[in-house]
Each structure stands twice: as structure tokens, then as C-alpha cells.
Amino acid sequence: MKIFPAIDIKDKKCVRLIKGDFENKTEYEISPVDQAKKYKDHGFKNLHIIDLDGALLGKTVNLDIIKEIVNKYDLEIEIGGGIRTIENIRQYINAGAEKVILGSGAIKDKEFLQKACRKFKNKIALGLDAKDGNLSVSGWKENLNIKTLDFLREVNDFGVSRVIYTDINRDGMKSNPNFEETLKIAEISNCPVVISGGVSSIKDIKKAKELKNKNIEGIIVGKAIYDGDIRLDELVKEDA
């Protein structure tokens, strides 16, 4: 089970949102670059970064911060937020990102997703962010009448190399991940699936590791780290 400690960037700061609400955010004193160093120093190998400014504006905003993190620390980074063009993807891959996460751009334009998967083999992750079973886009401000499972079935053969499933109702709430829904995704997905949203304690990590589905690749941990509910030295022991 890969552990993906999270960094969400807004106005050059580390922040955490409650259910994706930009009006309900907590800012942290530590910079994204220093937070990445903290993760690296504890021995983590993977990192999940979301450019929230990019997600809101629909374009790449914090490329300079991503480049600095990649250049300074040897971490496998997945990056998402506002990536709408092939050029955006190329910028991040050239900067050294291991995976580029496509969300709104891919969901609204399946041809874009297919083209990206063909052009950047094994580099495209698909972010499926859902509220009550339906997909949400544009920084979670727009709810679509599209079932998550139905959309995945439509794009399953495109060549996506990772699916990140987030239950928006649980994100930032520390109310336990939606394991049940994630398992449904993992059962039909042609690629590995990462659990996101709601991790509250080390128990959630242990439960994720016990799930009877080899297609579940890892889990993202954010607010529980920043709030001190999970200690990094304890968490890194679960990372494999």
C-alpha cells in the first residue's frame, strides 16, 4: 500500500479545505516546499499535490513550486489542479512529475483524456471526485448528473494509469474514507486505484491495507497529518 501524503497549494501556502469549499479552508504556516522536505525526511517516496489556484482558474498556476519540489527532493509526485491542455501536461512531465492528474478537463472532454493517455503513456492519472455517487468538476463547484461508475466504464480502455477516487462529502472531514464505493471502483477499473478523502487515523490506513482487492494501490492522507491526528513516523511504517 503506497502512502501519498498530500500538499494542497493556495496562494503559495499549504491549505486544507472542508469538502472542497474554498471559503472553508485552513491555512498552515509551513510552505509547500518545506512540507515536501518534511515528508522526504521521514522517508516517504510518494507525494500527492493539488494546485488549488489552478483548479479554480482552469490553468497551471504553481508550476514554479512543483519544479522546486521535484528538483530538491527525490519523490514520485502526482500533480493535479486545472490541467486542461496537452501543453499543461507536458510542462508537468518535463518538470519531473511521475503522474499528471486530469479531472474536470478529462470528464468534460473524453477525447482530451484519450489523446493525453496516447501521448503520455503511463503518465496520466484520472481524478474521479464524487458527491453522492455523481461526479463533480471545476474545483468541486459544479455537480454533474454523471454516475462515477458509468463514466469509468466509458473511459476504462483509454489507457489511464491510475484512478484517484475522492468522496467529496468526506474530504477534509476526517470521517473515514468511503471504502465501500472505492471497492466498487477498484472492481471495474482497468488500472490501480488510490483512495482519497476522509482519513482520520492510522486505523483507516490499516483498514485500507486489509481490503480484499489487489487493484487498490494506495491512500492519500492530508488533513489528519496537518492536524496532528497521524504522526509521520507512525504513518511511514505503513508505506510499502
Q: Catalytic residues, which ones? A: 8, 129
Closest residue by Cα to residue 97 from 127, 136, 67, 130: 67
The answer to whether 200 touches 176, Cβ cutoff 8 Å, is: yes
The CA distance from 179 to 185, in Å, is 10
Q: Helix 179-188 crosses helix 148-155 at what angle (to 10 degrees)?
A: 20
Q: Is 188 helix (H, G, I), strand (E, B) or coil?
A: helix
The answer to whether 19 touches 236, Cβ cutoff 8 Å, is: no
Radius of gyration of the chain (CA): 16
